[in-house]
A = this chain, B = another copy of it.
Amino acid sequence: MARKVAVVVTARPSYARVKTVLKAVKEHPDLELQLIVAASALLDRYGNVVEVMRADGFEPTMEVHMVVEGETPLTSTKTVGLGIVEMSNVLHHLRPDVVISVADRYETITTAISGAYMNIPVAHIQGGEVTGSIDEKVRHAVTKLSDLHFVANESAATRVEKMEEHKGRIHVTGCPSIDLAAWVIANAEDPGLNASLEVHVRRGVGEEIDPTQSYIICMQHPVTYEWTDAATQVMETLIAVKESGVPCFWFWPNVDAGSDLTSKAIRAYREQNEVRHVHFLKNMPPETFLSLMARSRCIIGNSSAGIREASFLGVPAINIGSRQLGRDCGINVMHVGHDHREIGSALQQQLAHGHYQSDSVYGDGLAGPRIADLLASLPLTTEKKLAY
Q: Chain A: residues with CB nearer than 8 A to chain B?
A: 42-45, 62-70, 73-78, 80-90, 92-93, 106, 109, 113-114, 116-119, 130, 132, 134, 136-138, 140-145, 159, 162-164, 205, 224-225, 255, 260, 264, 271, 326, 382-386, 388
Contact = CB atoms under 8 A, between A and B. Distances in A.
A73 B69 CA distance: 15
A74 B82 CA distance: 14
A113 B77 contact: yes
Contacts of A137: 116, 144-145, 384
A74 B88 CA distance: 6
Contact of A118 (B42, B73, B326): B73
Contacts of A142: 141
A109 B118 contact: no
Contacts of A271: 205
Contacts of A68: 65-69, 82
Copies in the complex: 4
A203 to B, nearest CB: 10
B62 A93 contact: yes
A107 to B, nearest CB: 10
A154 to B, nearest CB: 16
Contact of A386 (B43, B66, B134, B140): B140
Contacts of A74: 65, 88-89, 92, 118
Nearest to A85: B81
Given A62-B93, A109-B113, A86 B84 contact: no
A45 B260 contact: yes
25 contacts: A42-B70, A43-B69, A63-B93, A68-B82, A73-B117, A73-B119, A74-B92, A76-B117, A77-B84, A77-B113, A77-B118, A78-B84, A81-B83, A89-B89, A89-B90, A116-B134, A119-B224, A119-B225, A130-B385, A136-B385, A140-B386, A141-B141, A143-B144, A144-B144, A225-B382
A11 to B, nearest CB: 13
Nearest to A84: B81
Given A65-B78, A78-B88, A163-B163, 9 more contacts: A67-B69, A74-B89, A74-B118, A81-B81, A136-B385, A144-B163, A159-B164, A163-B164, A225-B383
A292 B142 CA distance: 41
Given A65-B68, A225-B382, A78 B73 contact: no
A271 B205 CA distance: 7
A145 B136 contact: no
A326 B385 contact: yes
